[in-house]
Chain A
């Protein structure tokens, strides 16, 4: 039976607690950090000028769909009741219960270089030491709204969902009129990238999965792709074949044998509520 992924704002206190505890259990058992390693290695290897698989390319969406399924499967091995929640940024901002002390925990503080000091993922708990990372901070950091940045609006999301072409040549961060590139954020109103920057700190860099809110953010990106797919049944993944440096629809997405085509229909694995 397919799992049901819920809006984080609608989780019960027990569901919030179960999610947090499952994430902490993965961290404690050493099964969390390899997910961070995988993301850093993939991001480091993705280039507009050469191979690009996890980011700035058509496979950004199916690669992260696979990545999220792998993480959700790991959570399920700890607690079968846990599924990935999604964070709808257009309705839950800096005052959301998303940042409560029983869930993701709050913003960092300027006096500690934006270290998150309370909540389940605060360094002081001893449960959340960053070991795989791209800077010298072994603690979670957030500087929410740094530089006056705002979260994407519903109108901006709607405008991107209205694009009818999945992706366009040259299949990288410069692609125009591309649903993928506008959702990823290198063009258009900047959706996914901007949310990383809005949280800032740990979420701004290569090691962004060190902040557990990464999973809720990307679950929303995946949900938007799913909505787009429903609206555009004929607008499938492109490119189809023979594209240099880019994953075609039937090519494997490193490090998995999984192809973009394998990821197109998720309804037997999970659905969004």
Chain B
């Protein structure tokens, strides 16, 4: 997936900045999409963005639609939580790998409930989605 060709930190940082700045508009025009590497003529639509304290943990996340497969990031106290987008628009995480959630926020909240005081750890490899 081309969004992972750069160093993850840099890409995530740029996207978070841009998405954060445009979330009120709801839609990122093609020119903006190009800046964050979404490419082509596709319009990227902000599906969700949140930043909240839940059960004592800081959860932040965003999801942007680009074609069928949304791009998304979630962190729990700054640690990346691995997110999968499902074919019906729901989300699954590495902490609750056998559950689907209607929103990224509910996926993040459920991960916090399951983790307790633990941290998510990112897999060393990332391929396919």
Residues of A participating in the B interface, judged by any CB pair closer than 8 Å: 40-41, 43-52, 56, 113-114, 133-137, 143, 146, 170, 172-174, 185-186, 192-194, 196-197, 200-201, 204-206, 208
Contact = CB atoms under 8 A, between A and B. Distances in A.
A134 B98 contact: no
Interface in B88-128: 88, 94-100, 114-121, 123, 125-128
Q: Which of B84, B125, B126, B127 neighbours the largest number of chain A CB atoms within 10 Å of its CB? A: B84
A96 B123 CA distance: 34
Nearest to A44: B123
B97 A208 contact: yes
B85 interface: yes
Given A49-B68, A204-B114, A172 B87 contact: yes
A41 B123 contact: yes
Nearest to B115: A135
Contacts of A135: 95, 115, 118-121
Contacts of A52: 128
Contacts of B100: 173, 186
A204 B115 contact: no
A192 B97 CA distance: 12
Given A134-B94, A173-B87, A205-B94, 18 more contacts: A43-B97, A44-B128, A48-B85, A50-B69, A50-B129, A134-B95, A134-B121, A136-B121, A146-B114, A172-B87, A173-B88, A174-B86, A174-B87, A185-B98, A194-B98, A197-B96, A205-B95, A208-B98
